[in-house]
Amino acid sequence: MIQVQTFRFNPFGENTYVLFDETKECVIIDPGCHVYEERSALKNYIQDQGLKVIHLLNTHAHIDHVLGNEFIKRTYGVKLHLHKEDLPLLLNAASRAEYYGFPTYEASTVDVFIEEGDVITFGNSNLEVIFVPGHAPGHVAFLNKTEKICVSGDVLFKGSIGRTDFPLCSFEDLENSIKTKLYTLEDDMVVYPGHGETTTIGYEKVHNPFVKL
């Protein structure tokens, strides 16, 4: 059974996730840890739980979600997984870091390009990759239908959606991703977003004011 541990990092209040099962193998999704205290909190949790980091996954490459990529790669010797359409954002992350005041940002490189339909395995568990562009051109979500887990990044929030006023964003694409990829999931699917509280697909289908069926 997959357990999900949430950390809220950096001034943007970004959600970093550690997913693991009974084997103690784990994946880290969107490490937004930047300062020493944040990185220590993540590292200490992994050590205290006796976890073995298997994969590093990015839902997308906006700066608040990739601040800790290189730290994770260096610390645990794992490969970074990202959709190829988000590579321009990752390559531009250093300039975004300077703009937003992250002077010690360490650039990272992609090791594995992922796409819709890929399956990420760890321990006895797996995550399916679904392509949900709009907030970012190569945005993906990670899904386990059996255990009702959807790590949605910045696509769908509780009562809100990801911004589409950044370069390479598209509201039309985001709306389509939500309607055709997320709202088709079961109502009790738990959504773990890139910011804020968890929610469910059923709740958002009824209450989200930005994208309605």
Say which DSSP state 37 is in.
Answer: H
Residue 213 domain-assigned (yes or no): no
Predicted model pTM: 0.98
Nearest Cα neighbor of 143 from 153, 135, 158, 154 is 153
Residue 212 domain-assigned (yes or no): no
Query: What's the pLDDT tens digit per position in 120-151?
Result: 999 999 999 999 999 999 999 999 999 999 99
| Element (DSSP H or E) covering residue 183 | none
| Residue 205: pLDDT band with limits 50, 70, 90 | very high
pLDDT attached to residue 23: 98
**Domains: count for the chain:** 1
Query: What's the pLDDT tens digit per position in 70-110?
Result: 999 999 999 999 999 999 999 999 999 999 999 999 999 99
Contacts for 3-7: CB closer than 8 Å, 24+ residues apart: 4/149, 4/192, 5/45, 6/192, 7/32, 7/33, 7/38, 7/41, 7/42, 7/45
- What SS3 class is residue 187? coil
Range of the structural domain that residue 148 is part of: 3-207
| Element (DSSP H or E) covering residue 127 | strand 125-131
Residue 62 domain-assigned (yes or no): yes
pLDDT attached to residue 213: 84
Rounded distance, CA 164 to CA 69, Å? Answer: 24
CATH number at residue 162: 3.60.15.10
Bridge-based pairing state of the strands 149-153 and 119-122: unpaired
Residue 169 domain-assigned (yes or no): yes
Residue 140 domain-assigned (yes or no): yes
Nearest Cα neighbor of 157 from 195, 120, 118 is 195
